[in-house]
Structure 1
Amino acid sequence: MAPAHDDLIVALGLAKGGMTLVDEARAHDLYAAMGPAREISGGSAANTLAGLAALGSACGFIGQVSQDQLGDVFAHDIRAGGIAFDTPARAGQPSTARCLIFVTPDGQRTMNTFLGASQFLPAEALDEKVIADAAVLYLEGYLWDPEEPRRAMRRAIGAARAAGRKVAFTLSDAFVIARHGDDFRALIAAGDIDILFANEHELAALTGQADFHDGLAALAPHVPTLVVTRSEQGAHAVSGGEHAHVAAAPVARVVDTTGAGDLFAAGFLFGHVRGLSLHTCLALGAACAAEVISHYGARPEADLRNLVAPLL
């Protein structure tokens, strides 16, 4: 990731504030167009697990890298964070996934993602015992796009359901909903999602409701726990007829919004698995999101346990 002015975003034809899938050649071109950059391990679900581990939760990650330098770095960083990661690296091409992120002066992140080896995660790579032992299976919508990890996630949902575990799902981006909204609506209708994370734009894309509160009212009855973030307007959650709202946690300066939703999910899930109130879960999510947007990168830098201690 690298700082960038708005004129560079326009010159490169990027969708400011969004996420676009790119091929490896485009990834190389964008990297060449960047100024001095920071290379930081990422990945939506991996970021959430990094937050959960930093809070003190036991976590395992299932995902695929390639046998290359970026794959080695990712594997090192996630294991160093205390997260179990045993999926074998994939030999040959394509290389490990990467996301080229341009951060404008207003803190907005413009993401361009090459899915690389991650889009070939096979269902056979799943450790169903790990899934059965977990309180919550957490899935990211970004990887619903490629066929192979989509099959793996369907199998993971089946394993979690068979073990009586909860399934949490983040919609990830409105473009994912545009391509796979019918799949997500079918999962919801089948009762396969216990906790659904979305931002207000994703909520509108999934429900077709332009008004936020109309969208919340339309979707909440169909999901046991619905969590929706609204950036500086805070976040809402509806569960079992209870509706909670928290304001955004204060932050001195928004440096980089990359990972805000990922770390919000981390804080919320940390509270959820401990049986804390809906309001407290939201407050934990808001605190973790505020920490990550105060610096570059989508992994926490502050001591999250100390940060959230006053909320517990």
Structure 2
Amino acid sequence: MTKARFDVLGIGNAIVDVLARTEDDFLVAEGLHKGSMNLIDTERAEYLYKLMGPAIEASGGSAGNTVFGLASLGADTAFFGKVADDQLGEIFSHDMRSLGAHFDCAPLVGGVPTARSMILISPDGERTMNTYLGAATELSEADIDEDIVANAAITYMEGYLWDKEKRQKKPSARRPAFRTKPGGRFPSAFRTASALIRFREEFLDLLQTGQVDIVFANEPEVKALYQTADRATALNALRADTRLSAVTLGGEGSVAISGNETFHVPACNVRELVDTTGAGDLYAAGFLYGITHDMDLEKSATLGNFCAAEVIQHIGPRPEHDMRQAAEQAGLL
């Protein structure tokens, strides 16, 4: 079989993250639920920006972070996401292409600005996100290059795409990922994200009708998806609904599930937990790299844990170091 041109194609919201440290008292004063992701308008974004302390601007977005991590590992990647023709849009485009990821969506001209997420980092590393979607909502079928879709081994989509201000555009932007059938050459992968709180029934339908082949989630998301407080019950329900799933368990590592097989892989050592932003995204990067490069599920999950551990030891959602070199030094590649 001819190798696909791209190992992974990511489709998601193209967002620039604005990260700053904060105290929990500030979250309480502003009515923000710690660890939540809130959609905000332009006025709220400007208000929070003025109140934030010294900040770091870094390209983000869930699927974008995963694609960036994959590219850092040496994978061939592509990304579909919409930015505006502005400074933040240029930052995002440059960052995405800097490691060789294919990113060629035409920027939005004369409309809303590039999306940004105001991320407040608590002393314990937990992040509270306040996201203005802006130009990301303008991603449409016109931005989807069918040749790239057809030449990607895996198409990976983030659950945050469901948080579209213009909901009528949602199906056209996500359609390419779900065009293939389970067992086909080009499987689809999906990360639930905290958006499942708002779209639980839609997400369940995707899984139970076989529209996605690989599902990524963390433990709270899986429990929320199946409305149970019991881990085993949630994981067994996920097993029944998916061909392959990978669930992160925080300090306990992660578990990969396929049919009757279950692989629980312990977490990597972390010197200091600084910022959990991007942990799930980088886990997905490591796992997807593994399964597209002939690693078994246990090794893929181990590489996912390794990538997640790297990103939580510094501020920002993307790797600070050459992930391939680091993984090679750790004996994982």
Quick one: which of 267, 282, 301 aligns to 1:282? 301
Q: Which moved more, 1:89-98 or 1:178-187?
A: 178-187
Q: Is the 8 A contact 1:121 1:148 kept in 2?
A: no
Q: Does 1:137 align with 2:155?
A: yes
CA distance in 1, matches of 2:161, 2:169: 6
- Return the offset for 1:240: 2.8
CA distance in 1, matches of 2:159, 2:302: 24
SS at match of 1:236: strand
- Return the offset for 1:13: 1.4
CA distance in 1, matches of 2:106, 2:176: 17
Q: Which moved more, 1:279-288 or 1:183-192?
A: 183-192
SS at match of 2:117: strand
Q: Is the 8 A contact 1:18 1:111 kept in 2?
A: yes
Partner of 1:311: 332
SS at match of 2:58: coil
Q: Does 1:252 align with 2:275?
A: no
**AA in 2 matched with 1:283:** T
Quick one: which of 167, 171, 193 aligns to 1:151? 171
Q: Does 1:100 align with 2:118?
A: yes
Residues 237-278 of structure 1 deviation map (CA, whole Å, 9 limit, x = unaligned): 101321001111111001110000000000000001112111
Residues 253-310 of structure 1 deviation map (CA, whole Å, 9 limit, x = unaligned): 0111000000000000000111211111110000000000000101101121122221
Q: Is the 8 A contact 2:20 2:52 kept in 1?
A: yes
Quick one: which of 310, 327, 332 aligns to 1:291? 310
Q: Is the 8 A contact 2:156 2:177 kept in 1?
A: no
SS at match of 1:83: coil
Which structure has greater helix proportion?
Answer: 1
Residues 30-82 of structure 1 deviation map (CA, whole Å, 9 limit, x = unaligned): 11010011111111100000000000000010000011111111111111121
TM-score by length of 2: 0.90
Q: For the structure 1 residues 149 and 169, does the alpha-carbon distance in structure 2 shift closer, same or farther, using more than 3 Å as the test?
A: farther
SS at match of 1:182: helix
**AA in 2 matched with 1:21:** L
Q: Does 1:57 align with 2:75?
A: yes
Quick one: which of 23, 30, 35 aligns to 2:41? 23
**AA in 2 matched with 1:10:** V
SS at match of 2:314: coil
What is the 5 A alignment of 1:213-232?
Answer: 213-232=232-251
Q: Is the 8 A contact 2:178 2:188 kept in 1?
A: no
Q: Is the 8 A contact 1:98 1:115 kept in 2?
A: yes
Q: Which moved more, 1:233-242 or 1:259-268?
A: 233-242
CA distance in 1, matches of 2:26, 2:34: 10
SS at match of 1:84: coil
Residues 99-151 of structure 1 deviation map (CA, whole Å, 9 limit, x = unaligned): 00111111111111101110121112101110110010000000112125521
Quick one: which of 178, 182, 186 aligns to 1:165? 186
Quick one: which of 43, 47, 54 aligns to 2:61? 43
% same residue? 46
Q: Is the 8 A contact 2:207 2:242 kept in 1?
A: yes
Residues 178-207 of structure 1 deviation map (CA, whole Å, 9 limit, x = unaligned): 321111111112211111000111101111
CA distance in 1, matches of 2:172, 2:311: 29
**AA in 2 matched with 1:5:** E
Q: Is the 8 A contact 1:20 1:111 kept in 2?
A: yes
Q: Does 1:88 align with 2:109?
A: no
Partner of 2:89: 71
Q: Is the 8 A contact 2:153 2:185 kept in 1?
A: no
Structure 1: where are the runs of 5+ without partners? none
Structure 2: where are the runs of 5+ without partners? 1-18
Partner of 1:119: 137
Q: For the structure 1 residues 100 and 280, does the alpha-carbon distance in structure 2 shift closer, same or farther, using more than 3 Å as the test?
A: same
Partner of 1:270: 289
CA distance in 2, matches of 1:15, 1:94: 27
Q: For the structure 1 residues 286 and 161, does the alpha-carbon distance in structure 2 shift closer, same or farther, using more than 3 Å as the test?
A: same
Q: Is the 8 A contact 2:22 2:122 kept in 1?
A: yes
CA distance in 2, matches of 1:292, 1:120: 29
TM-score by length of 1: 0.96
How many residue pairs match? The answer is 310
**AA in 2 matched with 1:167:** S
Q: Is the 8 A contact 2:139 2:173 kept in 1?
A: no
Residues 138-165 of structure 1 deviation map (CA, whole Å, 9 limit, x = unaligned): 0000011212552134421244449731
Compare relative contact order (CA 8 Å, sep 6+) and give the higher one, 1 or 2.
2
SS at match of 2:264: strand
- Return the offset for 1:6: 1.1
